[in-house]
């Protein structure tokens, strides 16, 4: 069944470059409603917890260092078929492979500093949203 919520982060490279507003504009214009949002900065330890699924990957230490290197924006988004539609909007992990017009194609700097995160399943969207936001910090 199609979900109606997903979770995103505007990553340190995009935040630092001043692209948060342009990215949020693309997200809203694609029909996503913001249910919760905050600017924050991860510690390396928290980044490690968020990406624990990648703990065995060779890029894990770099990823944790990068994700804690500066501020991010975390948000829960709502739309019919949210997880799948948002993955289409952001494009492939590696911007070199991302389709024209996708957020990563436009804003990502590299396969690691790839501008945005998007949950890959309904289950992970719920887990990742709960990582950042309690129930009373969400609209509706
Ligand atoms: P996503 O679901 O498209 O974000 O991709 P993954 O879940 O596979 O990877 C999580 C994040 O790790 C990516 O968004 C990148 O920031 C980073 N990453 C993925 N693959 C690589 C890689 O090969 N090298 C490096 N340095 N970072 C990577």
Pocket of ligand 1 contains residue 122 by CB under 6 Å:
no
First to last CA, the chain: 21
Pocket of ligand 1 contains residue 59 by CB under 6 Å:
yes
Is 117 noted as a catalytic residue in this protein? yes
Which residue among the candidates 13, 74, 117, 133 is catalytic per the annotation?
117
List pLDDT tens digits, range 63-76.
999 999 999 999 99
If you average pLDDT over every residue of the chain, what do you get? 97
The CATH architecture assigned to 5-137 reads: 2-Layer Sandwich (3.30)
C-alpha 100 – ligand 1 centre gap (Å): 19
Pocket of ligand 1 contains residue 114 by CB under 6 Å:
yes
The whole-number pLDDT of residue 65 equals 98
Complete DSSP assignment for the chain: ---SEEEEEE-HHHHHTT-HHHHHHHHHHTTPEEEEEEEE---HHHHHHHTGGGTTSTTHHHHHHHHTSS-EEEEEEE-TTHHHHHHHHH--SSTTTSPTTSHHHHH--SSSS-SEEE-SSHHHHHHHHHHH--GGGS--
Q: Is the pLDDT of residue 139 over 60?
A: yes
Pocket of ligand 1 contains residue 63 by CB under 6 Å:
yes
């Amino acid at each position: 069944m199609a979900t109606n919520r997903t979770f995103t982060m505007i990553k340190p490279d995009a935040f630092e470059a001043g692209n948060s507003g342009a990215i949020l504009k693309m997200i809203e214009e694609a029909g996503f409603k913001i249910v919760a949002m905050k600017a924050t900065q991860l510690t390396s330890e928290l980044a490690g917890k968020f990406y624990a699924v990648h703990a065995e990957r060779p890029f894990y230490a770099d990823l944790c260092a990068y994700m804690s290197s500066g501020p991010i924006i975390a948000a829960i988004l709502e739309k019919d078929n949210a997880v799948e539609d948002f993955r289409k909007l952001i494009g492939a992990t590696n911007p070199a492979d991302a389709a024209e017009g996708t957020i990563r194609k436009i804003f990502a700097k590299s396969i690691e500093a790839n501008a945005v995160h998007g949950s890959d399943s309904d289950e992970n969207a719920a887990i990742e949203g709960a990582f950042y936001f309690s129930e009373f910090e969400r609209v509706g």
